[in-house]
């Protein structure tokens, strides 16, 4: 669980909230992609969900037993655009919370990064 916890902290709270919206919009997005009428938000949601699936497969397969910052960061990079799925006013609040958590982690934990 350590790899997933580290990846979640690295991605941030706004990404997690955006992924929740991506999961919620998956059924309508799939219909849009299959019919060729998908919006930009639906395409972004599917990109984020594909990255989430890659993270899940990597974790379940035991791809790495550590070194989250080196091995998992390419996956986290593709998760972060999910924050764009948040509504405008919520996006600012989530990004502020994300900055607060980043500062908290940086001050309370010795990460070596």
Query: Within a domain: residue 41?
Result: yes
Asked whether residue 25 is domain-assigned, the answer is yes
User: How many Å separate Cα 38 from the centre of its chain?
Assistant: 21
The per-residue pLDDT for range 27-85, each reduced to its tens digit, is: 887 778 878 877 888 888 888 999 999 888 888 887 766 666 677 788 888 898 999 88
Q: Under a CB-based contact definition with an 8 Å cutoff, are residues 6 and 111 in contact? A: no
Domain for residue 88, yes or no? yes
Number of domains in the chain: 1
For residue 85, tell me if it sits in a domain: yes
pTM of the entire structure?
A: 0.79
- 113 domain residue, yes or no: no
**Residue 51 located in a structural domain:** yes
Asked if pLDDT for residue 111 goes beyond 70, the answer is no
Its domain, for residue 68, covers 2-108
50 located within any domain = yes
- Please indicate, yes or no, if residue 73 is contained in any of the structural domains: yes
């Amino acid at each position: 669980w350590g790899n997933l916890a580290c990846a979640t902290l690295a991605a941030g709270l706004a990404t997690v909230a955006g992924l929740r919206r991506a999961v919620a919009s998956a059924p309508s997005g799939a219909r849009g992609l299959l019919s060729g009428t998908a919006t930009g938000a639906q395409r972004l949601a599917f990109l984020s969900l594909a990255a989430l699936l890659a993270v899940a497969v990597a974790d379940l397969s035991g791809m790495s037993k550590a070194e989250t910052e080196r091995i998992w960061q390419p996956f986290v990079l593709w998760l972060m655009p999910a924050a764009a799925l948040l509504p405008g006013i919520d996006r600012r609040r989530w990004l502020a919370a994300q900055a607060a958590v980043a500062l908290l982690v940086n001050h309370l934990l010795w990460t070596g990064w």
